[in-house]
Amino acid sequence: MSLDSTVTTMVDSGTPAAKSAGVFRRLLRDPGAVVGAVITALFVFLAVFAPWLSGLTGNDPYTYNINLLNDSGVPVGPFGGMSARHWLGVEPLTGRDMFSIVAFGARISLVIGVGATCLSLLVGTIMGIVAGYWGGIVDTILSRFTDLMIAFPSLIFMIALSALVPTTFPKYIFMILIIGLFSWPAMARVARGQTMSFRNRSFVQAARAIGSRPLTILVSQILPNLVPTIIVIGTMGIPGAIGSEAGLSFLGIGIAPPTPSWGRAIATAVAWIRVDPWYLLAPGLALFLVTFALNLFGDGLRDTLDPKLARRAS
């Protein structure tokens, strides 16, 4: 089932507090959503307290520990040099602590994932509600531009842009901009469809009748009814943005070293997978878990906010 058909907005009766309580109760009855929320919360905790957690063993993601490697650059000891001081072992060639790389890499991944998703939601919502509300030639132009962006080879353009951006420009901001500005079409399509259904509703007609301006109607009448949709698409869009950052870093055009990144850690581990696949496990598992958890939570939130499923569960 497509995102356009499963994401549905509604106007519930009752106070906002009552509606929020109902949504929360339905979420708690969804095991997948609960598991996803718990795993996501753990990664947020890991990212926020990364310096403190790494400091427990006196490590950081930048210090080289050449003494922990043999003459071939391979960590000494089983499981990639795992020990009481290095909980997930150390990185080949550099001896950097893998737990610190994963913990600090979570900061980069979550900041870029959330930032790029927020940017794409902002652009997509504006494009969608403008096209859906005014219709006509405005809708035609914006819809064709949206189709063009969907068909555009974004990866090639990202690679080309990365070579043009000055090295002094913060790379994480560049990643947020480039990922966010290429991932808004899905939100635009959903917002357009929802706005077209809302613009002929009685509450919008009443606002027009009392002389409200189009911008006022969009902000005060249509946009609040799009909030559940925006939340759901945002929750389900963050994993894609995190995956894009990891993919670009894997290709060597993402976050520059020595800043920790899951994608670059995976790229480094691939070269050593025949020697020991352990180096791939920590960053790869972290990337899988956070994207899986956010998808689980997004699916549960979508089902909770769907009016048909909500009435069926109540």
CATH number assigned to the domain comprising residue 113: 1.10.3720.10
Structural domains of the chain, count: 1
What is the share, in percent, of the chain residues with pLDDT greater than 90?
45
Asked if residue 13 is part of any domain, the answer here is no
Q: Which long-range contacts (CB under 8 A, 24 or more apart) does 42-51 make?
A: 43/106, 43/110, 43/286, 43/289, 43/290, 43/293, 44/110, 46/102, 46/103, 46/106, 47/103, 47/106, 47/107, 47/110, 48/107, 50/100, 50/103, 50/104, 50/106, 50/107
Residue 188 and residue 4: Cα distance in Å, rounded? 10
Q: Which of 1-10, 150-159, 190-199, 304-313 has the highest mean pLDDT?
A: 190-199
* 14 pLDDT above the threshold of 60: no
What would the mean pLDDT of 139-148 be, rounded to a whole number?
Answer: 94
Query: Tens digit of pLDDT for each residue in 169-180?
Result: 888 899 999 999
Asked if residue 118 is part of any domain, the answer here is yes
Residue 148 and residue 182: Cα distance in Å, rounded? 11
- What is residue 5's predicted lDDT score, i.e. its pLDDT? 44
Asked if residue 56 is part of any domain, the answer here is yes
Asked if residue 267 is part of any domain, the answer here is yes
pTM for the model: 0.84
pLDDT band at 299 (very low <50, low <70, confident <90, very high): confident
Residues sharing a CB contact under 8 Å with residue 170, sequence separation 6 or more, in sequence order: none
Asked if residue 17 is part of any domain, the answer here is no
Asked if residue 16 is part of any domain, the answer here is no
Q: What is the domain range of residue 229?
A: 24-313
Residue 99 and residue 89: Cα distance in Å, rounded? 7
Query: Tens digit of pLDDT for each residue in 22-50?
Result: 677 888 888 889 999 999 999 999 999 99
Asked if residue 240 is part of any domain, the answer here is yes
- What is residue 307's predicted lDDT score, i.e. its pLDDT? 53
Residue 28 and residue 49: Cα distance in Å, rounded? 27
- CA torsion sign, 142 to 146 to 152 to 157? positive
Show the CA angle centred on residue 152, arms to residues 150 and 158, nearest 5°.
115
Show the CA angle centred on residue 29, arms to residues 28 and 33, nearest 5°.
60
Query: Tens digit of pLDDT for each residue in 193-213?
Result: 999 999 888 988 898 889 889
Question: What SS3 state is found at 90?
Answer: strand
- What is residue 24's predicted lDDT score, i.e. its pLDDT? 75
What would the mean pLDDT of 125-145 be, rounded to a whole number?
Answer: 94
The better pLDDT of the pair 162, 214 is held by 214
Residue ranges of the alpha helices (H) in the chain? Answer: 3-6, 16-28, 31-48, 50-55, 78-81, 98-134, 136-151, 154-164, 171-180, 185-198, 202-209, 214-217, 223-250, 262-270, 278-305, 307-313
- What is residue 9's predicted lDDT score, i.e. its pLDDT? 38
User: Residue for token digits 């919008």?
Assistant: 204
- What is residue 308's predicted lDDT score, i.e. its pLDDT? 55
Asked if residue 19 is part of any domain, the answer here is no
